[in-house]
Amino acid sequence: MVERIGIIGGGIVGIAVARALSSSGDFEVTVLEKEARLAAHQTGHNSGVVHAGLYYQPGSLKAELCSRGREMTRDYCLERGLPYREVGKLVVALSEDELGRLDDIQQRASTNQVPGLRRLSAEEMREVEPNVAGVAAVHSPHTAVVDYAAITECMAGDVRANGGSILLHQEVTAISTTGGVTTVSTTSGTHTFDRLLVCAGLQSDILAKMVGASPSPKILPFRGEYWSMSAESAPMIKGMIYPVPDPRFPFLGVHFTRGVYDDVHVGPNAVPALAREGYSWGKISFKDTFESLAWPGAGVLAKNHWLMGVREVSASLLKPLYYKQAQSFVPALKSSHLESKTAAGVRAQAWNKDGSLLDDFAVDQVGSVTLLRNAPSPAATSAMAIADYVLKNFMKIATR
């Protein structure tokens, strides 16, 4: 008897899981997506970077799955004729004070076997990015950019070709398990499965609650806003320019990225969103905001990170402050070069009851339901590797 497997979530991770399952021919696979299209949230609102693994704690799931996922993403794009451009990344120390943290990044990246990694002097890094400021940098020449929404749609085509179903307009309202059968109720109907995987990003904790999982970790939505550079100023940036990250925060800071279609954007920042899908200040959910404020760890998080919060919110509301952050890396940048704000993204960041932000990927199992609880960046890079990991370790299904 063919096993019926349901997948909630039509982002790149959910579709990668569906593709891995459907390719075996042993399962009846159905994806339920609440929106009218796939890749509508985190997958379709990120910078398109294929991360090489510079930042992640050696031995962590992020480090392991990012490395494998990068190779799988590259191979898939080349096989399917999807755009894949290795534009390279500079992680730049602006001052001597940041050299110790740059050393840490270099050591971590070397341990993670980031390909082609080099330490550059100030003169050498300006051979890569002529307009960059700073005293030293780490260069990752194989860091690439892609179109993750296009990859998701291509993999969805594979799912359908393998006999799987992808159903849109399927917002989940209830999940129950009785007698080994899991029933998922949606706004468009009812579906029954033998096993269920939840890859729901911004909604992952809500769906975890439906199946009786722990309420922790909870999703705290952070909005990242981008500015696009004008066509005449875009040639100032050849690839990517990133700051040395602050280890106290899970965010990388404002940076420059040349996209796969040659657009150049600056950002993102990181401001608390006032709704799970709050892509602008005008999108407010009092329910989402109240639940975040009522979470036991909210006070600790605010106490530890209030200064960062004030800085990020101020830069969001005042363009000159955002511009100054960017100009510190590219002194020739003018305010007029930041032409318009592009569509923002919302990061589904998981946090614990003690106020700590969960750094690694996290997966839970409740009976026949597998829950991907935390999958922020580099989840898009890692999607195919995450799929294999979940199927092998939580569903005991052999993968390629």
Residue 250 has pLDDT above 70, yes or no: no
Q: What is the pTM of this model?
A: 0.94
Token pair for 260:
């796969």
Alpha helices in 57-202 (DSSP H): 61-80, 99-111, 122-128, 148-161
Say whether 184 sits in a helix, a strand or coil: strand
* Cβ proximity of 63 and 110 under 8 Å: no
| CB contact at 8 A, 384 and 13 | no
Report CA dihedral (73, 250, 7, 144) to the nearest 10 degrees: -10
pLDDT at 119: 98
Neighbour tally for 147: CB within 10 Å: 19
User: What integer best gives the mean pLDDT of the chain?
Assistant: 92
Structural domains of the chain, ranges and CATH numbers in brackets: 3-45+149-217+359-394 (3.50.50.60), 88-143+223-351 (3.30.9.10)
**Residue 400's pLDDT is what?**
59
Q: Which of 74-83, 175-184, 201-210, 247-256 bottoms out in mean pLDDT, i.e. has the lowest?
A: 247-256
Range with lowest mean pLDDT among 8-17, 47-56, 80-89, 151-160: 47-56
Residue 248 confidence class, pLDDT cut points 50, 70, 90? low
Q: Tell me the pLDDT tens digit for each residue of 114-135.
A: 999 999 999 999 999 999 999 9
Helices 379-394 & 12-22 angle (0-180, nearest 10): 40
At residue 399, the pLDDT reads 67
Q: Which amino acid is at 250?
A: P
pLDDT at 246 over 80: no
Average pLDDT over residues 176-200: 96
Is residue 256 within 8 A of residue 240, CB to CB? The reply is: yes
> Which pLDDT value is given to residue 370?
96
List of residues 6+ apart from 8 with CB closer than 8 A:
14, 31, 32, 172, 184, 196, 197, 198, 199, 200, 207
The model's pLDDT over 32-43, given as tens digits with 9 standing for 90+, comes to 999 999 999 999
Task: Examine the pLDDT at 205 and tell me if it is beyond 70.
Answer: yes
| Start-end of H helices in 42-116 | 61-80, 99-111
**Judging by DSSP bridges, how do beta strands 218-229 and 240-243 pair with one another?**
unpaired
Per residue in 314-362, pLDDT (tens digit) is 778 788 888 999 999 999 999 999 998 877 899 898 988 888 888 899 9
Among 177-191, 223-237, 280-294, name the one with the lowest average pLDDT.
280-294
pLDDT at position 270 is 83
